[in-house]
Amino acid sequence: MLRLGVDYYPEHWSREIWESDVREMAHIGINTVRIGEFSWGILEPDDGVFRFEWLDEIIEIFARHRIDIILGTPTNCAPLWLYRKHPETLQVGRDGKRTEPGIRGHRCMTSRVFRRYAERIIREMLKRYANHPSILAWQTDNEPEGNHCCCESCTDSFRTFVSNRYESLSELNRKWGTDVWSGTYRTWEEIRPPLGADYEYNWLNPSYLLDYERWAAASSADFLRFQADLIRESNPETVITVNACFAANMPDYHLIYKDFDVASYDNYPEVRIPEDQGNVYSQAFALDVARGRKRKNFWVLEQLAGPKGCWSPMTPTPLPGMMKGYAWQAIARGADMILFFRWRSAARGAEMFWHGLFEGEKPEGRRYEEFKEFLRETRAWDKLFGTELKSKVAVLYSYEQNRAFRIQGQSEGFSYEDQARLMHDGLMAMGVNVDVISEKEELDSYQVIMAPGLFIADASLAGRLETFVRKGGILLLGNRSGVKDLFNARRLDPLPGVFRSICGCSVDEYDPIGKGTQRLRFADGETFSVTSWCDILKTEGATALATYEDSFYAGSPAITENLLGNGRCYYLGTVGDRSLYRYLARLMLDRAGIERFELPYGVELSVRENERTRYALIFNNTDGDQVFVLEQKKISLRPFEVRIVEGFD
Ligand code: GAL
Ligand code: ZN
């Protein structure tokens, strides 16, 4: 069944209201809650002193009302006594100083002492609840970030990580190119995490930095795996997940979820309607990223329930229909669970203005009514459970490329992520299901792949893409592909390096125009304004699809098309606005013979299916009415409305 419910913090409320809260939850149709993820200080008020009575009690209340539970391990914030006794369990920042406790997320992920205490509290929880019939799943920690702690233990761990990657220190020196600026390491002890101010970071050796970012990702994955192993030891059947966010300091969730059963996402869409509709598919992108992390349906463990705020000024309140619409949108993109954050707005603590479903003691009000309506509507569509999105189309987007581009920005305003979003946006506008996956994944099940810069690349990646194209695949490769080897050093062969023969073109020269603009023209006369980056291309078997109009390279190819085996490879030497990507999406889908629908901008179409039926979910992600024709049928949608068409073909 579709899992629908809320995040709940019983430890913040008096026991007198637990029973009536849970009764109301059951009454309106909630079947799942998440609890516990920050409660260590209450579960273990002093070293080795455990107070589980309250958790026992609330779990029994939920059990009695047949509401299932996702239980969070509480490692994101440890009790103050632990930090006082063992200050080494606190992270050290890039300034070399130990973090002050008081907020959250300040645990050192590699500290042996921290892990010992974490293991003890997790085992105490498992002893009681590992086989409890109401525990549906476990969440490990909370929204883990990449581990950028610079303490002694993390320094050791980073050293071990790099020493396992290279045969010897001299190999490491060679691969990282440490001859530059007298950076040669004579002993492993000289290798440390990057200390210093942020503005100095980009002056550091990029090869070193990329390995550091790889370590930071591997280190958080290891911390979560350590927890998952403990849980599995007590109950091999249980489901393990962790809630991901979409933020700058994200770890590599592809890596983390390898060992986990389900990928989860915390879904806080923008409540301000963008004036230029600029980010209209941005939320769909984040949800497709969430589904792509395990390439299967996912869970939303936190969903927008009201105005956001606290550490930043509050956002506007969601418009009528928006909360419900955004929850439906997540289902449309593969969510099988939606838990709203949170049941009741907090009365105390730093998050009292990150709003829950209602404000006072009693559940009521506009947002609460809308939530109930969402529960009523979803009840009729429980048959969507067991359906999934099948996609012939993918956008490649990965942690590693993202990090490499962050280490070395390419031109003013150049953004790898924006290019991935633009490619996704173009495909969304054509009404096809889109997967967003890492380039490390299997690619053969797709017919169309768009890849923003594959900056870090080797022959094996090129070989996989070549096979994809030769077998009939249609590939679009973005600018800045094939620039670096796996060690984040520049290759010397002409760009796009390992992809040159697949593209049938090479980069003669490039112009990092940044915020400047250029124009390009297609053979059919269509012209587009481009920006950010211009590769001046030379065809070597490919044909020029579009050429530049301005500057000293007017007339030179900007986009090429190469026929290879049964497929085609396009190379995109520049960055356009969304109209260019729509043009390219249309072209590529037609070449692949994939059915497309031209939807009004802001309308999203996805198909969830099982062996028996295909369900089209059509969502109006705008604050205006939309009327259009889809498969000869007139469809009108109110703002944020979703329509489900059963038996869509
Ligand atoms: C999430 C986090 C929650 C809560 C929420 C609202 O990122 O997991 O614990 O803080 O944001 O701010
Ligand atoms: Zn540390």
Ligand number with the minimum distance to the CA of 351: 1
CA 417–ligand 1 middle distance (angstroms): 23
Q: Whose CA is nearest to atom 10 of ligand 1?
A: 351
CA distances from 61 to 50, 58, 508 (A): 20, 5, 69
Nearest-atom index, ligand 1, CA of 243? 8
Neighbours of 180 (CB within 10 A): 9
Q: Containing H/E element for 118?
A: helix 112-129
What residues are annotated to the active site? 143, 302
pTM of the model: 0.97
Q: Is 37 in the pocket of ligand 1 (CB under 6 A)?
A: no
Ligand 1 pocket test target in 351, 352, 357 with most atoms within 8 Å of CB: 351
Residues composing the chain:
649
Q: What is the dihedral of CA 175, 179, 181, 186, to 10 degrees?
A: 90
Ligand 1 pocket test target in 6, 39, 250, 302 with most atoms within 8 Å of CB: 302
Cβ pair 414, 512 in contact under 8 A: yes
User: Which domains can be identified in the chain, with CATH numbers?
Assistant: 3-78+100-146+222-384 (3.20.20.80), 393-592 (3.40.50.880), 603-646 (no CATH)
In the prediction, which pLDDT does 311 show?
87
Cβ neighbours of residue 597 closer than 8 Å, sequence gap 6 or more: 430, 431, 605, 630, 631
Q: Is 302 in the pocket of ligand 1 (CB under 6 A)?
A: yes
Burial of 140 (0-12, 13-18, 19+ CB in 10 A): buried
Cβ pair 399, 255 in contact under 8 A: yes
DSSP string, 147-194: ----SHHHHHHHHHHHHHHSSSHHHHHHHHTTTGGG---SSGGG----
Q: Is 142 in the pocket of ligand 1 (CB under 6 A)?
A: yes
Q: What is the dihedral of CA 410, 411, 412, 418, to 10 degrees?
A: -60
User: What's the 3-state SS for 433-478?
Assistant: CEEEECCCCCCCCCCEEEECCCCECCHHHHHHHHHHHHCCCEEEEE
Nearest-atom index, ligand 1, CA of 143? 8
How wide is the angle at C-alpha 574 spanned by C-alphas 570 and 578, nearest 5°? 90
Neighbours of 4 (CB within 10 A): 25
Cross-strand bridge partners of residue 536: 509
Cβ neighbours of residue 343 closer than 8 Å, sequence gap 6 or more: 6, 7, 8, 9, 21, 25, 33, 356, 357, 363
pLDDT in tens, 129-188: 999 999 999 999 999 999 999 999 999 999 999 999 999 999 999 999 999 999 999 999
Nearest-atom index, ligand 1, CA of 38? 9
CA 381–ligand 1 middle distance (angstroms): 29
Q: Is 351 in the pocket of ligand 1 (CB under 6 A)?
A: yes
Q: Whose CA is nearest to atom 2 of ligand 1?
A: 143
CA 195–ligand 2 middle distance (angstroms): 13
Q: Whose CA is nearest to atom 9 of ligand 1?
A: 142
pLDDT in tens, 216-259: 999 999 999 999 999 999 999 999 999 999 888 889 999 999 98
Both tokens of 332, joined, read 């449309």
CA 78–ligand 2 middle distance (angstroms): 15
Q: Which residue has the tokens 């038996």?
A: 647
DSSP single-letter state for residue 90: B
> How many CA within 13 A on the CB side of residue 177?
12
Cβ pair 348, 311 in contact under 8 A: no
Burial of 534 (0-12, 13-18, 19+ CB in 10 A): buried
Cβ pair 569, 543 in contact under 8 A: no
Cβ pair 489, 207 in contact under 8 A: yes
Q: How far apart are the first and last CA of the chain?
A: 24
CA distances from 225 to 71, 141, 259 (A): 16, 11, 7
Q: How far apart are CA 86 and CA 107, in angstroms?
A: 11
Q: Whose CA is nearest to atom 12 of ligand 1?
A: 354
How wide is the angle at C-alpha 401 spanned by C-alphas 428 and 213, nearest 5°? 135
Q: Containing H/E element for 41?
A: helix 40-43
How wide is the angle at C-alpha 26 spanned by C-alphas 20 and 28, nearest 5°? 100
CA 361–ligand 1 middle distance (angstroms): 21
Q: Is 245 in the pocket of ligand 1 (CB under 6 A)?
A: yes
Q: Which residues surround ligand 2, an ion (CB under 5 A)?
A: 108, 149, 151, 153-154
Ligand 1 pocket test target in 34, 142, 315, 353 with most atoms within 8 Å of CB: 142
- Of the candidates 234, 248, 263, which has an alpha carbon nearest to the alpha carbon of residue 145? 248
Q: How far apart are CA 57 and CA 492, in angstroms?
A: 66
Ligand number with the minimum distance to the CA of 92: 2
Q: Containing H/E element for 113?
A: helix 112-129
Ligand number with the minimum distance to the CA of 345: 1
CA 85–ligand 2 middle distance (angstroms): 16
Q: Is 266 in the pocket of ligand 1 (CB under 6 A)?
A: yes
CA 293–ligand 2 middle distance (angstroms): 26
The residues of the chain scoring below 70 in pLDDT are: 274-279
DSSP single-letter state for residue 309: -
CA 243–ligand 1 middle distance (angstroms): 10
Cβ neighbours of residue 75 closer than 8 Å, sequence gap 6 or more: 40, 107, 118, 121, 122, 140, 141, 227
DSSP string, 338-395: EEES-SB--SSSTTTTS--SBSSSS--SHHHHHHHHHHHHHHTTGGGTT-EE--SEEE
Nearest-atom index, ligand 1, CA of 351? 12
Q: Which residue has the tokens 């490039």?
A: 510
Q: What is the dihedral of CA 34, 35, 37, 38, to 10 degrees?
A: 140
Q: How far apart are CA 581 and CA 595, in angstroms?
A: 17
